[in-house]
Amino acid sequence: MALILITGASTGLGLAAAQTLAAAGHEVVVHTRSIDGLPDLDLRGSVHGDLSLMDDTAVVAEQADTFGRFDAVIHNAGVYRDPGALQVNTVAPYLLTALMSKPRRLIYLSSGYHLDGSTDLDAIDFNETRVRPGAYEDSKLYETALAFAVARRWADTVSHVVDPGWVPTRMGGPGAPGDLEEGHRTQEWLATAPDEAIEPRTGGYWHHRRISRSHPAASDPDFQHELIGRLEAHTGVKLG
């Protein structure tokens, strides 16, 4: 059985993945913003902190490391039209990736909207405090590029990206047309399937267990290098 951390697991896809994986007998550690949001599941444990705050995110990384090396970390937490889109969707997964002990597998949740993200990195303001049109799209492009950068850099850690689709969660809204069940199955599979069942081994962009198209910039080593440099400068933490 695998030891798995899921961020943003109090509701939506994160909660659904935690329920399924815990029911299958895996050792699940969930992240929630506060202990009040802890789901009623048979868990290995929990970590807590506000991922819109860098100090809180660093504390989440410290808490997570007390459980030892994870078999998989599912970076599920995210916000949509929110002033903290870049902070929660890009900076937080970057910090957790850089600060935690390297897991065996990393799974980042992106979105088909990342295809509309801007490649103008000079325009990034990680500290923005207003809802900016396009911020969500940008944040998911950057998260996708981060995942692919990790896949290139870390030989002993598998890194994949999942587009779960537009599904009826609190973030997606009740009218979302996607299949909620399918929305969490791929990340569970990537976290637990035998190595030989996953092809490509690392660096895949997945939708419903099939490789899908990602933004060309996300796979560009130069774009990745510049993005990581800006994240390192903003956080004061190197990816390694």
Q: Which residue has the higher pLDDT, 102 or 174?
A: 102
Mean pLDDT over each residue of the chain, to the nearest integer = 94
pLDDT band at residue 188 under the 50/70/90 scheme: very high
Q: What's the rounded mean pLDDT across residues 80-94?
A: 95
pLDDT value at residue 176: 52
212-224 pLDDT, tens digit each: 999 999 999 999 9
pLDDT value at residue 223: 98
Q: Which residue has the higher pLDDT, 171 or 121?
A: 121
pLDDT band at residue 182 under the 50/70/90 scheme: confident
pLDDT band at residue 76 under the 50/70/90 scheme: very high
pLDDT value at residue 173: 58
Distance CA 166, CA 176 (A): 6
Distance CA 88, CA 86 (A): 6
> Which are the contacts of 118, defined by CB distance < 8 A and separation ≥ 6?
134, 137, 138, 141
pLDDT value at residue 237: 98
Question: Annotated catalytic, 205?
Answer: no
**Percentage of residues in the chain having pLDDT higher than 70:** 93
| Nearest alpha-carbon partner for 76 in 89, 85, 61 | 89
pLDDT value at residue 170: 60
Residue 117 burial by Cβ neighbours in a 10 Å radius (0-12, 13-18, 19+): buried
pLDDT value at residue 58: 98
pLDDT band at residue 165 under the 50/70/90 scheme: confident
**Is the confidence at residue 141, as pLDDT, over 70?**
yes
pLDDT band at residue 183 under the 50/70/90 scheme: confident
Decide if 192 contacts 72 (C-beta within 8 A): yes
Question: Annotated catalytic, 102?
Answer: no
Rounded alpha-carbon distances, angstroms, from residue 167 to 122, 155, 174, 178, 181: 32, 33, 8, 4, 9
126-137 pLDDT, tens digit each: 999 899 999 999
Which of 94, 108, 136, 205 is flagged as catalytic? 136
The vertex-38 CA angle with 76 and 73, nearest 5°, equals: 30
14-66 pLDDT, tens digit each: 999 999 999 999 999 999 999 988 888 999 999 999 999 999 999 999 999 99
* Residue type, position 183, single letter: G
pLDDT value at residue 36: 87
Q: What's the rounded mean pLDDT across residues 180-204?
A: 93
**Percentage of residues in the chain having pLDDT higher than 90:** 88
Which of 94, 108, 140, 142 is flagged as catalytic? 140
Token match 């850690």: residue? 157
pLDDT band at residue 180 under the 50/70/90 scheme: low
